[in-house]
């Protein structure tokens, strides 16, 4: 009964490579998010999509490109990986109906760039 799932859970790669992280939610939510949590545990929003439409795009290098093929999926592609991209990336989803805005997080993807 996984609500928000991410793959892969761990990703170890070298500088300069391109990688993707996938996220899927089966909660029927309209909105999905990508967060980055650094080594100091600060959770910072990167992107948000509402029903496949980009609604939040924080100051993120354009090497990061989100894609939402449908409202249940939000993928994150990262080009030319750098050491500073090493972090845990969390996907989340939330309903917007009724102004709940409660966000539910996936298990995270720990990205290590060497």
Partner 1 sequence: QKEVEQNSGPLSVPEGAIASLNCTYSDRGSQSFFWYRQYSGKSPELIMSIYSNGDKEDGRFTAQLNKASQYVSLLIRDSQPSDSATYLCAVKGGSTLGRLYFGRGTQLTVWP
Q: Pick from 21, 103, 111, 113: which binds partner 1 (CB under 8 A)?
A: 103
Name residue, tokens 């991209």.
85
Residue 10 within binding range of partner 1, rule CB under 8 A: no
Residue 107 within binding range of partner 1, rule CB under 8 A: yes
31 strand-pairing partners: 50, 94
Q: Are 7 and 107 in contact (CB under 8 A)?
A: no
Name residue, tokens 């009964």.
1
Question: 3-state DSSP: the chain helix, strand, coil percent, rounded to 5?
Answer: 5, 55, 40
* Interacting residues with partner 1 between 42 and 81 (CB under 8 A): 42-45, 48, 50, 55-56
Count of residues that bind partner 1 according to CB under 8 A: 25
Would you tell me which residues interact with partner 1 (CB under 8 A)? 31, 33, 40-45, 48, 50, 55-56, 90, 94, 96, 99-108
């Amino acid at each position: 009964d996984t609500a928000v799932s991410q793959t892969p859970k761990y990703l170890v790669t070298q500088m300069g490579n391109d990688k993707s992280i996938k996220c899927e939610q089966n909660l029927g939510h309209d909105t999905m998010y990508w967060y980055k949590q650094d080594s100091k545990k600060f959770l910072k929003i990167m992107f948000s999509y509402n029903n496949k439409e980009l609604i939040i795009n924080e100051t993120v290098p354009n090497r990061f490109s989100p894609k939402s093929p449908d409202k249940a999926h939000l993928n994150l592609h990262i080009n030319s990986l750098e050491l500073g991209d090493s972090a845990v990336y969390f996907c989340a989803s939330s309903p917007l109906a009724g102004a709940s805005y409660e966000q539910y997080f996936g298990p995270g993807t720990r990205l290590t760039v060497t």
